[in-house]
Amino acid sequence: MTAQITPLIAGNWKMNGTTASLGEVQKLAGLLTQGGGPRCTVVICPPATLLERLNELAASSGIVTGGQDCHPAPSGAHTGDISAQMLADAGAQYVIVGHSERRTDHHETDDLVQLKALAVHSAGLVPIICVGETEDQRDAGDALSVVAAQLAGSLPDDWTGHEIVIAYEPVWAIGTGRTPTPAEIAEMHDAIRADLETRFGERGAATRILYGGSMKPSNASQILRIGNVNGGLVGGASLLANDFHAIISAV
């Protein structure tokens, strides 16, 4: 990890979680409080239906919340969508945009992801912008160029006053139990850092770059030790308090 950057561990619950799941949050809050509080920023991105209740439960233990997606517009006739303003109103501080499941299931393009990131900024929240290659792209030797193109297209050019978080999530590692080698993660995170520094100077040097894709208690400390890995975006392992706590503790 990079010493001067406060790490961030974010849990992405995806389309999982009902009232019963709040018990896991209560348990996690207890574990964190017993341990004297987390040594990193801890974010949980639950389904929007649980956002407010999760905030109430978790705030005192230092956990903050985020949305999993938003519409680029602040309001309007967009049935079923949710805006960044609404997520802010419910207490969110972060919003994931451009997750590969959104890019695949909803055909989201880099242009749309960039509009969403700008909408998140307008609402005063921090976007977690996801990028990552497919297995075919990696096998073809295109992983670095694919991610560079996604970064070029998904990050707003006029990024000035606000924070941005990048999450590198190889699509083939999400939910599969497979991860890239430490050398592959290091190569990609170094390339993303260089890209951010070229484009945004000191802001790029200070930006948190998360790794995501089958991060779990057994591999977290190895991954979090890699240079330019400033935290993780955790799916499956964020649903159970003990697993997520073990990952947070690996920081």
* Cβ contact 58:48 at 8 Å: no
Does 171 help bind ligand PGA (rule: CB under 6 A)? no
Judged by CB under 6 A, the chain residues 77 through 96 that form the site for ligand PGA are none
Q: According to the binding rule CB under 6 A, does residue 236 interact with ligand PGA?
A: yes
Catalytic residue among 24, 71, 99, 245: 99
Q: Is the Cβ–Cβ distance between 115 and 184 less than 8 Å?
A: no
Per CB under 6 A, the list member of 83, 85, 214, 230 interacting with ligand PGA is: 214
* 99 annotated active-site: yes
Residue 233 binding ligand PGA, by CB under 6 A: yes
Nearer to ligand PGA by C-beta: 88 or 96? 96
Provide, rounded to whole angstroms, the least separation between the CB of residue 100 and ligand PGA. 7
175 binds ligand PGA (CB under 6 A): yes
Largest CA distance in the chain: 48
Minimal distance, residue 160 CB to ligand PGA, in Å: 28
Looking at beta carbons only, is 43 or 58 nearer to ligand PGA? 43
Question: Does 215 interact with ligand PGA (rule: CB under 6 A)?
Answer: yes
Q: Interface with ligand PGA includes 212 (CB under 6 A)?
A: yes
Nearest residue to the partner ligand PGA, using Cβ: 235
Q: Does 12 bind ligand PGA (CB under 6 A)?
A: yes
Among 7, 72, 213, 231, binds ligand PGA (CB under 6 A): 213
CA dist., res. 11 & res. 178, Å (int): 18
Residues 6+ apart with CB under 8 A from 186: 226, 227, 228, 229
174 binds ligand PGA (CB under 6 A): yes
- Is 127 an interacting residue with respect to ligand PGA (CB under 6 A)? no
Question: Of the ranges 23-31, 52-60, 148-156, 233-241, which one interacts with ligand PGA (CB under 6 A)?
Answer: 233-241
The answer to the question of residue 169 lying near ligand PGA (CB under 6 A) is yes
Residues that bind ligand PGA (CB under 6 A): 12, 169, 174-175, 212-215, 233-237
